[in-house]
């Protein structure tokens, strides 16, 4: 009942004083800070003491509009000696962010009141570098009461941090991205991801994973801190490497409330009622993380093992064989297992010397990667299928695995045991025989032909003629010597090639790349974009590393282009090769790849390897 009486009285007084309100002089004033930082958000308030329409302002230069114009109205009434005086204030508030340094002008705004157009004053605003703090109290004419409460840059910002600024090539670096806020954030989205050029990257958080949150006190203020992204980076080259910023679109909620001009306790308590209270206003902001520069050191050359395979971290190594006593043509499984924390997916193949009497198939490699909050760890298994073809006792020499422990700053070498394999000659069984026809002459034993008694007709020779010292004998003798010499030369070349591990690696570069692309094809069918682009990227980089004898740690876009040029590869093919690599790098870290781009990149990767191979032959 009290509110009803007060409301009726209020509107009655407003009606009595309406005419006097129209006869006041019109004042149209613009207010703002005179100095702001680049990226800082601030308010520009246009206040007019009368009701108007068609508010308008010219386009702004040097500033981005986050919100506005946001209209609000306030009024005050005074009763002195029976005389009623009513003051009305209408404001239009803009929330701006400074985009560049310099001196800028906010042009006058216009408004129409009672059919007449009025203009406000213009504002001079100086924008300084974000590293130069603005002087406190540098407000133009001051923001008048009655406008919405603004939001300072310290109320909401994002920050990137790393667990280390100095690291070795291949050493794991954890990058954490956090939001610091004192206001509610109903939604946010990343509109620009960094490319992580010069790194192999692995996301440690899933896209749909809820950010972890906690409260922190910073400079005496309590912030809600949300960790929205975390990435493990493995440097691929030495020098100064830069982690580019992330751009984040954020919608923040700030509280707005109408202000009163009245100083009368009666009316102040009346307007403080919840019925006249404010609400919340959404403001969009574009946030940007800081740029981080890392100092990446090359791995030490001193005491580097010859069998070092780019492994950096902390690892363990073991091997096991399923049997050491077999018969010829029986299969043996020899498996090597590497597990630990570090760049496990970037480890090259092991160097293993098998006896020449063994037929060895390409190894089956499986990676089981575990992604944890503290980084990447996992298990890599390398499994060989071996088939001995001759009987005897053979030794598989110990296999060495070396890695660089960045904590101890030294190389560590682990070794598998040697294996003595006893091979007995296999006994002929029905399962060993392959029947390719019905005649006895058609029966063949694995690796050999069965000799049968030759049936009629015979070839007859004259009595007294001998093969020894005949013309045919000398032809056969000389031919045998020539054939033996050719076999000896070929055998020596073959032994040199077997001892030249790098030459074998170069010749198998295309085969290894195609094997990796087969893995990419599997992920393509499953529409697994992350693993698909990782496999294509590893296939292309691995091909260049194997083909040109360049360690992965020394590979870059420049060194790849130089190697292709030195080998006489056309500039057009080199550019296509590097362009596909760039597409893979971009697609691996873009928020969502197009479904069609996977097939296109897969086809282009196969084609460019074939073109390069034909050019190198």
- pLDDT of 295 above 90: yes
- Over range 289-318, report the average pLDDT: 88
Closest CA to 233 of 188, 196, 262, 207: 196
- pLDDT of 23 above 70: no
Task: Report phi then psi at 293, rounded to 5.
Answer: -110, 130
pLDDT at 296: 92
Residue 139: C-alpha distances to residues 33, 123, 134, 261 (Å):
4, 11, 10, 21
Classify 15 as helix, strand or coil: helix
- Over range 572-594, report the average pLDDT: 73
pLDDT band at 278 (very low <50, low <70, confident <90, very high): very low
The average confidence (pLDDT) of the chain is: 76
The tokens for 589 are 């870290």
Residue 242: C-alpha distances to residues 200, 316, 342, 558 (Å):
13, 32, 21, 17
- Given a contact cutoff of 8 angstroms between Cβ atoms, the answer to whether 138 and 252 are in contact is no
- Nearest-Å Rg of the Cα atoms of the chain is 40
User: The tokens 């954890």 sit on which residue?
Assistant: 174
In sequence order, what are the residues at sequence separation of 6 or more whose Cβ sits closer than 8 angstroms to the Cβ of residue 224? Answer: 180, 181, 182, 213, 214, 215
Ranges assigned E (strand) in 406-464: 410-415, 419-424, 433-435, 443-445, 448-449
- pLDDT of 529 above 60: yes
- Same CATH fold assignment for domains 2-144 and 155-252+289-297: yes
- Given a contact cutoff of 8 angstroms between Cβ atoms, the answer to whether 457 and 372 are in contact is no
pLDDT at 506: 59
Share of the chain above pLDDT 90, in %: 13
Report the run of H or E that residue 573 belongs to, with start and end.
helix 571-589
pLDDT at 369: 82
Fold of 2-144: Immunoglobulin-like (2.60.40)
DSSP annotation string for 299-344: PP-TT--TTEEEEEEEEEEEEEES-SEEETT--EEEEEEEEEEE-G
Q: Burial of 428 by CB count in 10 Å (0-12 exposed, 13-18 middle, 19+ buried)?
A: exposed
- Write the pLDDT tens digit of every residue in 65-104: 877 788 887 766 666 665 666 677 888 888 888 878 889 9
Cα–Cα dist 433/531, whole Å: 45
Closest CA to 592 of 232, 191, 226: 191
HSE at residue 514, side-chain half, CA atoms within 13 A, is 10
- pLDDT of 491 above 70: yes
pLDDT at 332: 92
Cα–Cα dist 320/334, whole Å: 6
Domain ranges of the chain: 2-144, 155-252+289-297, 308-424, 504-616
Q: Looking at the whole model, is its pTM more than 0.75?
A: no
In sequence order, what are the residues at sequence separation of 6 or more whose Cβ sits closer than 8 angstroms to the Cβ of residue 534? Answer: 345, 588
- Write the pLDDT tens digit of every residue in 415-471: 999 899 999 988 755 444 443 333 444 333 434 444 545 555 666 656 656 667 778
- pLDDT of 402 above 80: yes
pLDDT at 589: 64
Fold of 155-252+289-297: Immunoglobulin-like (2.60.40)
Helical packing angle, 557-566 and 571-589, nearest 10°:
160
pLDDT at 240: 92
In sequence order, what are the residues at sequence separation of 6 or more whose Cβ sits closer than 8 angstroms to the Cβ of residue 439? Answer: none
- Write the pLDDT tens digit of every residue in 168-220: 998 899 999 999 998 888 778 887 788 888 888 888 887 667 787 888 888 87
Tell me which of 215 and 3 has the higher pLDDT. Answer: 215
pLDDT at 280: 66
Determine whether domain 504-616 maps to CATH 1.20.120: yes
pLDDT at 139: 36
308-424, which class in CATH?
A: mainly beta
Cα–Cα dist 163/375, whole Å: 11
Least confident of 139-148, 317-326, 430-439, 578-587: 139-148
């Amino acid at each position: 009942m009290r509110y009803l009486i007060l409301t009726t009285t209020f509107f009655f007084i407003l009606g009595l004083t309406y005419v006097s309100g129209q006869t006041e002089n019109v004042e149209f004033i613009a207010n703002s800070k005179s100095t702001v930082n680049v990226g800082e958000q601030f308010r520009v308030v246009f206040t007019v003491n009368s009701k108007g329409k068609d508010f308008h302002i010219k386009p702004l230069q040097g500033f981005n509009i986050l919100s506005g114009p946001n209209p609000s109205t306030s009024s005050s009434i005074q009763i002195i000696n029976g005389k009623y005086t009513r003051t009305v204030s209408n404001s239009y508030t803009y929330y701006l962010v400074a985009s560049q340094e310099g001196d800028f002008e906010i042009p006058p705004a216009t408004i129409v009141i009672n059919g007449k157009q009025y203009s406000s004053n213009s504002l001079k605003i100086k924008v300084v570098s974000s590293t130069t703090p603005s002087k406190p109290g540098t407000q133009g004419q001051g923001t008048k009461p009655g406008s919405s409460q603004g939001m300072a840059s310290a109320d909401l910002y994002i920050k990137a941090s790393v667990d280390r600024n100095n690291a070795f090539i291949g050493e794991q670096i954890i990058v954490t991205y956090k939001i610091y806020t004192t206001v509610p954030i109903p939604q946010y989205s990343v509109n620009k991801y960094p490319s992580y050029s010069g790194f192999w990257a692995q996301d440690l958080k899933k896209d749909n994973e809820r950010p972890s949150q906690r409260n922190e006190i910073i400079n005496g203020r309590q912030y809600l801190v949300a960790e929205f992204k975390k990435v493990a980076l493995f440097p691929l080259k030495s020098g100064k490497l830069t982690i580019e910023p992330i751009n984040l679109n954020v919608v923040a909620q700030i509280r707005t409330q109408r202000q009163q001009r009245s100083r009368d306790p009666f009316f102040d308590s009346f307007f403080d009622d919840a019925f006249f209270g404010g609400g919340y206003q959404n403001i969009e902001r574009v946030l940007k993380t800081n740029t981080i520069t890392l100092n990446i050191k090359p791995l030490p050359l001193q005491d580097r093992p010859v069998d070092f395979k780019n492994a950096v971290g902390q690892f363990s190594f073991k091997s096991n064989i399923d049997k050491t006593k077999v018969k010829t043509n029986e299969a043996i499984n020899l498996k090597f297992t590497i597990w630990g924390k570090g760049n496990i997916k970037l480890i090259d193949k092991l160097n293993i010397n098998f006896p020449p009497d063994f037929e060895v198939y390409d190894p089956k490699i499986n990676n089981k990667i575990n992604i944890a909050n503290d980084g990447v760890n996992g298990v890599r298994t390398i499994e060989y299928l071996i088939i001995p073809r001759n009987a005897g006792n053979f030794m598989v020499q110990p296999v060495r695995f070396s890695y660089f422990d960045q904590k101890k700053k030294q190389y560590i070498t682990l070794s598998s045991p040697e294996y003595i394999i006893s091979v007995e000659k296999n006994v002929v069984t029905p399962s060993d025989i392959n029947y390719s026809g019905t005649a006895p002459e058609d029966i063949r034993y694995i690796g050999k032909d069965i000799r049968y008694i030759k049936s009629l007709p015979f070839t007859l020779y004259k009595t007294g003629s001998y093969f020894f010292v005949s013309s045919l004998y000398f032809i056969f003798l000389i031919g045998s010597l020539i054939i033996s010499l050719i076999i000896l030369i070929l055998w020596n070349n073959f032994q040199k090639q077997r001892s030249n591990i790098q030459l074998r690696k170069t010749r198998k570069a295309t085969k290894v790349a195609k094997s990796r692309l087969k893995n990419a094809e599997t992920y393509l069918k499953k529409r697994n974009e992350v693993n698909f682009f990782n496999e294509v990227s590893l296939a292309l980089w691995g091909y260049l590393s194997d083909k040109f004898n360049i360690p992965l740690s020394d590979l870059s876009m420049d060194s790849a282009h130089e190697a292709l040029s030195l080998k006489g590869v056309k500039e057009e093919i080199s550019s296509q090769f590097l362009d596909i690599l760039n597409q893979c790098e971009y697609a691996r870290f873009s928020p969502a790849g197009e479904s069609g781009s996977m097939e296109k990149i897969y086809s282009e990767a196969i084609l460019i390897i074939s073109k390069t191979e034909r050019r190198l032959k």
